[in-house]
């Protein structure tokens, strides 16, 4: 030890006062100070002559004994700081106290059963709570607080996160995937402070009900459209009012809107293309369209028919070939070997004759599509390419100028534009979002936005669906629950079946939806917390339990609140 010593400062009052004031120590004085190559060891002694018993509160000045405690403090210039604190053990003079002696703690320095000061413990918690244990241990060691990964986990698990259940009045509840598609958890947060409260190990009704029973004073519970959560809240907190989350309501409405657009696509197309004076093609029978047979298809066809000619039954042939008996029946129904049935976009199969003629001429995909449009028909480029790769897998389209022949007329060019826009997902975006495709700074609309608006103006169906969606959002953002009843009554018997189904679903959860209009509470904080859960979960995937996950989420949330 003497070889490592660089310098030793003798006991001086001036040095004592400077060091004690610099570090903020109270009730102690420094009697030695030793600096080595990688650490600093300071000897401290308490200046108190009496202390209160932590068990009964009686003051005592009767010293029983003393001993030295080694306590780690915050580092100085990357050097580990170790405090050798001499503390006294006092006799408890209260005859009724079960403890005969007790140790006096130095305020701000020592704590019961701790080998670190409060300042170092808080610094470790702030660092280790936001990173993985291995990474955090390396970082802390590098700045002068050596720690192992196992100890780092113990420090994080020791962070206090007690919940005052009596003070929680408003809560949000939602699920998240601990393993996507396999295991799910339920997260409960305080809607007022946005602080995570608890992680339930599943999203089943019984587990959620047991967890919610602890929040007896909660009077508002925000949730999504889950039926299991609705029942669990009603059984655990019968006096609490359930509030359906507005975001999930609008999301559900958008999903039904997209389904309705897809179901009404033929009608929408007729309305949008009525001005072109070209009829929309009806569907054709595609049941007999098959691809070319493979060598295996040909071999199985021959063996099955040969076995049938020899008088073998279907089951005997199936056992001989080690195949299913229905596959034998399939080959027996064929007059000649054929490949798999073509499963391609319906638009592709409608114009198979035109496509075969263009393929014979060696045209490219663009030229084939132009030939289809020139006949007054309609198909998107993506649908054509997908179908061509399935029906003609060995066909290689012509490259160069020849692939762009057959120029389009104005009407067919318009049909091409309509075809590219008339997809259920894209039209749902333009129907539900009036600002999509509009520059926020200049107010200029994109070309696709202008074309989409033209389609909406031409189609009565799209206009009706836009009105249904926008009116529902207005009802949720308003303050009158009567408007909600009127909206449901209007669309429950609507000709648009998917919107009618959505209105019927609202009626089943009408109380929670009306509360969403009455009260200013939502699952917005929960959605933000779920994003933090995903970030934390990725950093500790498969290597930690729910208790550690909850602590890390709480620390992430606290840091986010401090930053804001």
Shared domain check, 31 and 48: yes
Greater confidence (179 vs 174) lies with: 174
Residue 120 lies in a domain: no
Query: Are the C-beta atoms of 116 and 124 separated by less than 8 Å?
Result: yes
Examine the domain organization and report whether 188 and 259 are in the same domain.
Answer: no
pLDDT tens-digit series, residues 49-63: 888 888 888 888 888
**Inside any domain, residue 124:** no
- Its domain, for residue 544, covers 165-245+522-563
- For residues 182 and 299, membership in a common domain is answered with no
Say whether both 60 and 85 belong to one domain. Answer: yes
Give the pLDDT band of residue 562 (cuts 50, 70, 90): very low
Of all residues in the chain, the percent with pLDDT exceeding 90 is 7
Same domain? 217 vs 310? no
- For residue 136, pLDDT over 60 is answered with yes
Record the pTM: 0.60
86 and 200 together in one domain: no
CA–CA separation, 153 and 137 (whole Å): 9
> Tens digits of per-residue pLDDT, 67-125?
888 888 888 888 888 888 888 888 898 888 888 888 888 877 777 888 888 888 888 88
Q: Cα(437)–Cα(445) distance, rounded to whole angstroms?
A: 6
User: To the nearest whole number, what is the mean pLDDT of the chain?
Assistant: 79
Query: Residue 46 belongs to what H/E stretch?
Result: strand 39-46
Tell me the backbone φ, ψ of residue 95, rounded to 5 degrees. Answer: -65, -20
Are the C-beta atoms of residues 188 and 523 closer than 8 Å to each other? no
- Which residues have CB under 8 Å from 340's CB, separation 6+? 290, 291
| Percent of the chain residues past pLDDT 70, beyond the cut | 81
Mean pLDDT of the 480-487 span? 90
- Which residue from 309, 48, 198 is spatially nearest to 553, judged by alpha carbons? 198
Q: What angle do CA 519, 523, 529 make, to 5 degrees?
A: 145
Q: Is 363 found in the same domain as 327?
A: yes
The count of domains in the chain is: 4
Same domain, 482 and 527: no
Residue 88 in domain: yes
The domain boundary, picked from 115, 134, 150, lies at 115
Same domain for 491 and 537: no
Residues 211, 288, single domain; the answer is no
CATH number, domain containing residue 176: 3.30.420.10
State whether 296 and 393 are in the same domain.
yes
Q: What is the pLDDT of residue 560?
A: 56
CB 418 within 8 A of CB 385: no
Indicate whether 363 and 387 sit together in one domain.
yes
List CB contacts of 176: < 8 A, sequence separation 6 or more. 184, 185, 186, 187, 530, 533, 534
């Amino acid at each position: 030890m003497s070889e490592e010593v660089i310098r030793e400062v003798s006991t001086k009052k001036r040095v004592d006062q400077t060091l004690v004031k610099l570090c903020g120590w109270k009730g102690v004085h420094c009697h030695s100070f030793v600096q080595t190559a990688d650490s600093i060891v300071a000897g401290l002694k308490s200046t108190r002559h009496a202390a209160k018993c932590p068990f009964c509160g009686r003051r005592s000045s009767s010293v029983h004994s003393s001993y030295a405690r080694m306590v780690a403090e915050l580092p100085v210039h990357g050097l580990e700081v170790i405090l050798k604190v001499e503390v006294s053990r006092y006799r408890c003079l209260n005859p009724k106290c079960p403890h005969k002696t007790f140790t006096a703690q130095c305020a701000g320095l020592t704590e019961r059963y701790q080998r670190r000061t409060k300042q170092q413990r808080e610094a470790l918690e702030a660092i280790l709570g936001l990173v993985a244990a291995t990474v955090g241990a390396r970082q802390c060691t590098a700045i002068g607080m050596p720690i192992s990964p196992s100890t780092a986990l113990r420090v994080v698990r020791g962070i206090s996160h007690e919940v005052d259940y009596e003070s929680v009045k408003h809560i949000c509840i939602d699920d998240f995937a601990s393993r996507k598609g396999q295991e799910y958890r339920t997260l409960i947060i305080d809607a007022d402070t946005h602080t995570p409260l608890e992680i339930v190990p599943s999203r089943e009704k019984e587990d959620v009900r047991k967890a919610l029973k602890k929040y007896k004073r909660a009077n508002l519970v925000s949730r999504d459209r889950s039926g299991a959560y609705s029942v669990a809240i009603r059984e655990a907190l019968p006096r609490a009012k359930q509030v359906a989350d507005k975001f999930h309501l609008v999301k559900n409405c958008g999903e039904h809107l997209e389904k309705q657009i897809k179901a009404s696509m033929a009608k929408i197309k007729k309305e949008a293309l009525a001005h072109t004076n070209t009829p929309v093609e009806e569907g054709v029978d595609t049941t007999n369209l098959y691809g070319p047979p493979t060598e295996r298809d040909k071999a199985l066809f021959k063996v099955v028919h040969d076995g049938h000619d020899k008088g073998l039954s279907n089951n005997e042939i199936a056992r001989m070939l080690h195949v299913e008996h229905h596959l034998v029946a399939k080959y027996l129904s064929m007059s000649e070997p054929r490949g798999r049935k073509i499963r391609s976009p319906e638009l592709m199969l409608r114009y198979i004759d035109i496509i075969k003629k263009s393929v014979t001429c060696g045209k490219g995909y663009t030229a084939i599509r132009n030939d289809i449009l020139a006949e007054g028909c309609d198909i998107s480029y993506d649908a054509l390419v997908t179908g061509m790769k399935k029906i003609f897998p060995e066909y290689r389209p012509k490259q160069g100028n020849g692939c762009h022949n057959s120029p389009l007329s104005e009407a067919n060019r318009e049909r091409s534009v309509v075809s590219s826009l008339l997809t259920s997902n894209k039209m749902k975006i333009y129907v539900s979002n009036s600002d999509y495709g509009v520059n926020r700074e200049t107010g200029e609309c994109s070309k696709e936005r202008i074309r989409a608006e033209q389609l909406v103006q031409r189609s009565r169906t799209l206009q009706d669906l836009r009105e249904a969606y926008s009116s529902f959002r207005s009802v949720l953002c308003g303050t009158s629950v009567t408007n909600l009843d009127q909206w449901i009554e209007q669309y429950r018997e609507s000709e648009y079946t998917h919107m009618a189904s959505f209105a019927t679903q609202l009626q089943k959860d009408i109380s929670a939806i009306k509360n969403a209009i009455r009260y200013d509470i939502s699952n917005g904080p929960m959605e933000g917390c779920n994003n933090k859960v995903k970030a934390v979960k990725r950093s500790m995937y498969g290597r930690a339990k729910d208790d550690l996950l909850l602590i890390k989420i709480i620390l992430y949330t606290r840091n986010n609140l401090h930053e804001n």
